[in-house]
Structure 1
Amino acid sequence: MNRKDGQEQEAISRVAPEAGLLLGAGRAILLQLAHPQIGRAIAEHSDFAANPLSRLIHTLSYIYALSNGTAAQQRTIIAYVDAAHRPVRGTRNPRSGEPAYSALDPKLQLWVAATLYDSARVIAGQILDEKVQDQEELYLQYARLGNALQMPADWWPESLTAFSRYLAQMEPSLRVTEQTRALADELFAGRSAPWWIRIGLPLMRDVTIAQLPALVREDFGYELTAGIQKRNARVIRVVRLATKICPKFIRHAPMRLMLRHIQKMA
C-alpha cells in the first residue's frame, strides 16, 4: 500500500477509494470520448459498443492499484494497460478529416489522466469534506496515472491554476461525432451489464449530464432539464450523507473488489 509507517496517508490514497467518486465515472468517460483521437481509438479498437462497462472496470482497477495497491498489483495493471495500448493506432482519414492516433501518445494519456482527476475533483467537492490545503497535494499525486505509462512527468501541469488553463485550452478541440454519441448511448443503456447495475444507469446518466461541462453536454445532444437537475441534486445529497455515515469498509468495497480482480490477472 502507499501508506508508510509513521507517516500520514497520502491524499490520493484517502480520496480515490471513496465509492461516491464513482458518480464521476460517466463524466470522465464522456470527456474521453469527446477527444477526437481518443474517441476514434475507442470506437475502432475496443469492445466498448458491446461491453461499455469494461473500460470502466479497467480504469477503476488502474486508479485503485496506483493509489492503494501493492507494488505487484501496480506492475500487473501497468503491464496490462501498456499491452492493451500498444496495438491501438490509426492513420489519418483524408476523406473525413479524422486524425491519426496512437494510444501510446503521451498527449492522449495526459488527457485521460486529466479527465480522471477533474471528474474526481468535481464529485469530491460535492460529497467529501477534504481539507482545502490537501487539494494541491491530491492534484499533484494524480499525475501518477499518466506517469506510470508513457506520459513524461513534466507534462502534468505544475499547479491547479495551470491545470485549469490546460482544460480551457483543450475544450475548443473536443468534438463529439455520431460514432462517439452512439457509444455514449451504449454506456447508459448497459445492455450487457448485470441487472443490478442496469437499474442504476438512468440515474447515472442524469448525474453525468448534470456534471458535464456545458459545451460538451450540448455537443453530445443532452439537455439539462429541471428534472435532471433535481435528480442529480437528490443523488448528490444521498451519496454525501452515505459517505458521512457509512463505515470505510463499505465505502471502499469497490476498491477491494478491483484489487482482487488485479490479483487474479497476475
Structure 2
Amino acid sequence: MLTDVREQLGKALFGRVAGPEGPTNRVRIHATPGPRWFATGRPIRTVHGDASMFIGGISALLLQSLHPLAMAAVAAHSGYRGDPWGRLQRTSTFLAVTTYGTADDAQQAVNHVRAIHQEVRGETADGAAYHAADPHLLGWVHAAQTDSFLRAHQHYGAQPLDTAGCDAYVADSARVARALGVTDPPHDLRTLADRLTGYRPELRATPEARAAARFLLFRPPLPLAARPFYAGLAANAVALLPPWARSTLRLPSIPILEDMAVRPAGRVLTRTIRWAMSPPPTHRTA
C-alpha cells in the first residue's frame, strides 16, 4: 500500500515538473553515452537533483522578478500565466539536459535558448528598452537563480555542501552561464554575493513583479487539494529571500512563525518529495 502511494505521488510530481515527454527525456538525458559537462559527483548534480529545488525554483522566480527589464521580458514573452506548467517543464528539462545530459545535447539546448533570447526584445511601460540576450540582463537572471538554488539546498537539501562545495557549485553554474552568453559569471560565493550587491541599485518591484508574486504565491493553477502542499513550498520560498528582496516585494516577515512552523514544514515537504521521487530500495532474497 505504501509503495503504491509512493509510486503514484512520484509520478504525479514528475509529470507536473517534466511534462508528458518527461519519461522519454529522462532516458535520453541519463542513458545516452558520451562525455558530459559535469562529471558524476560534481556539486551541480547534487543541488539540481535534490527536492530542495521545488523551493529554490519559486524563490528564484520571485528574486528575478525584481529587475524591471527581466520582469518586463517575462511578462510580455514567457506566457507564464497562460501556460505556467509548460514554462516550468521547459525550464526543468533545460536544467536536466545541461546538468546530466551529454555535452552535445547540452550545447544544443543552450543554442535553442540563445536563439529564443535573440528574438525577445521590447520596452517597459516607462520606455526602457530590453533585450533578453543582453549579457548584463542574463547575468542578473543567472546570479539570482544560482543564489536561490544554493540557498534552498543549504536549508533543505539532503546533503548540504561545505564551503568548498558551495564555491564549486557556483563555478559549475558559471559553465552554463558562459554558454548562454553571460560575461564573467561569478565563480565562487564571494563573487556571487558581490554580483548580487552590484545589481541592487537597478532593482525594484514593478507592478508586473508584484502581479507575478501574487500569481506564484496565491493563485497557482492547481487543484484545491494540492494547494496546501504548494502553499508550504511557497512560504518557504519567501522565507529564503534576502530580507531586502522581501521588503521590496512587500512580503511579510514573521521570524518566530517561520522558525517554529514554516521552515520545519519545508523540511517535511522536501523529505516527502525526495521519498516519493526516489526509486524504492530493492530487496534481495538470500
TM range (shorter): 0.7 to 0.9
Determine which of 64, 74, 79 is the counterpart of 1:42: 74
The match for 1:115 is 144
The match for 1:233 is 263
Cα deviation, residue 55, structure 1 = 3.3
- 1:216 maps onto 2:248 in alignment: no
The alpha-carbon distance between structure 1 residues 120 and 181, as it changes in their structure 2 partners (threshold 3 A), is same
Cα deviation, residue 37, structure 1 = 0.5
1 or 2 for the larger relative contact order (CA 8 Å, sep ≥6)?
1
Q: Distance in 2 between matches of 1:230 and 1:151?
A: 39
Q: What pairs up with 1:89-128 in 2 under 5 angstroms?
A: 89-91=121-123, 96=126, 98-127=127-156, 128=159
TM-score, with structure 1 as normaliser: 0.78
Q: Distance in 1 between matches of 2:83 and 2:63?
A: 18
Q: What pairs up with 1:97-246 in 2 under 5 angstroms?
A: 98-127=127-156, 128-152=159-183, 155-193=184-222, 198-225=227-254, 226-239=256-269, 246=275
Cα deviation, residue 228, structure 1 = 4.6
Q: Which runs of 4+ in 1 moved over 6 A?
A: none
The match for 2:89 is 57
RMSD, aligned α-carbons: 2.9
The alpha-carbon distance between structure 1 residues 190 and 232, as it changes in their structure 2 partners (threshold 3 A), is same
The alpha-carbon distance between structure 1 residues 201 and 139, as it changes in their structure 2 partners (threshold 3 A), is same
Cα deviation, residue 58, structure 1 = 2.4
**Contact 1:53–1:190 (Cα < 8 Å) also in 2:** no
* 1:148 alignment partner, SS class: helix
Q: Percent identity?
A: 25
The match for 2:59 is 27
- 1:68 maps onto 2:93 in alignment: no
Q: Distance in 2 between matches of 1:91 and 1:120?
A: 29
Q: Which deviations, in whole Å up to 9, do the C-alpha atoms of 1:123-160 show, x marking residues without a partner?
A: 111233323332221110011231222223xx112432
TM-score, with structure 2 as normaliser: 0.73
The match for 2:278 is 249
Cα deviation, residue 3, structure 1 = 7.6
Q: Which deviations, in whole Å up to 9, do the C-alpha atoms of 1:22-73 show, x marking residues without a partner?
A: 2111110011111111011111112122233443332222222111112354
Q: How many residues align?
A: 243
Gaps of 5+ in 2: 1-29, 281-286
- Greater Cα radius of gyration, structure 1 or 2: 2
Gaps of 5+ in 1: 252-266
Q: Distance in 2 between matches of 1:111 and 1:67?
A: 20
